[in-house]
Amino acid sequence: MTNSTKKIIFQKSQTLADAGLSQKLKIDYLYLSGSGSSDADLNFNNKNYDYHSLIIDNTNSNFLIDKSQKQAQSQHVNFHTLHRNNSIVVSSNE
């Protein structure tokens, strides 16, 4: 039997990002939520997280959403942008 557990990191502030990790954390989703920082950078996230999909929600500024989308496209990162009418559902059997 395979383990289908999904792991998600919610990066709401730069506090976690500023700390850095000693090794890459393997997760399924990196959820970027209203960080309030226009200097959020996918290069940093890619150094610290091994993730399948980046999720950018609408609590981020338009500037940050645009910047993150452009970086994700140029780095061939799978991403989803959640606008007002979009949502993502993740379920777990735990």
CB distance 54 to 30 below 8 Å: yes
CA separation for the pair 41, 71 (Å, rounded): 8
**Domain limits of the chain?**
8-81
Q: What is the pTM of this model?
A: 0.69
**pLDDT, tens digit, 9 for 90 and up, residues 4-36:** 666 666 665 555 555 666 788 888 888 888 755
The number of beta carbons lying within 10 Å of the beta carbon of residue 11 is: 19
Give the pLDDT of residue 1: 44
Nearest to 69 by CA among 59, 54, 84, 83: 54
What is the greatest pairwise CA distance in the chain? 43
**pLDDT, tens digit, 9 for 90 and up, residues 67-84:** 889 999 999 999 988 876
CA separation for the pair 5, 16 (Å, rounded): 23
